[in-house]
Amino acid sequence: MKKTFAFSRRGPDIITEELVAVLSGKGSFEFKALFTIVHANLRAKNSANGGEEMLRLRAYEKLQTLVGGGAVKKTGKSYTGLSVRLLDLGVQIKQFRDELEARRTARDLKTECVNN
């Protein structure tokens, strides 16, 4: 069982972030209810693109990755977030986003200096 999370070069996507945000709260969710919440949150952010069925497949895949990594516990058909692991994952996501933003800013400044 995989116990660590390592993001690919692209980093965590918005679906993983939403799953972590929803599962960090109290409660247990069946996939259908969990997807409904995640989909509503993504639509509110105008980030639900690619069709609902494709989004459902991607969300299920990301959820199974979280289960395999030990951040989410699956009991029967319901999923419960393990708060300590999800908190760690949330911190990793934030750090990755901050590093990515710093690299983009540095790249933009370098491009600006070259053009001037």
- 44-80 pLDDT per residue, tens: 988 877 788 999 999 999 999 999 989 999 999 999 9
Residue 6: band (very low, low, confident or very high) from pLDDT cuts 50, 70, 90 = low
Q: Is 27 among the domain residues?
A: yes
More confident residue, 27 or 7: 27
Is residue 104 in a domain? Answer: yes
Residues 6+ apart with CB under 8 A from 65: 16
When divided into structural domains, the chain yields a total of 1
pLDDT greater than 60 at residue 90:
yes
Q: What is the pLDDT of residue 39?
A: 93
pLDDT at 75: 93
Q: Is residue 67 in some structural domain?
A: yes
Q: Going by C-beta distance under 8 Å and a sequence separation of 6 or more, which residues neighbour residue 20?
A: 66, 71, 81, 86, 89, 90, 93
In the three-class reduction of DSSP (H, G, I as helix; E, B as strand; rest coil), residue 115 is classed as helix
CATH of the domain at 53: 1.10.10.10
The range of the structural domain enclosing residue 35 comes to: 14-115
Whether 1 is in a domain gets the answer no
pLDDT at 33 over 90: yes
Domain assignment of residue 68, yes or no: yes
Mean pLDDT of 77-97: 88
* Residue 31 placed within a domain: yes
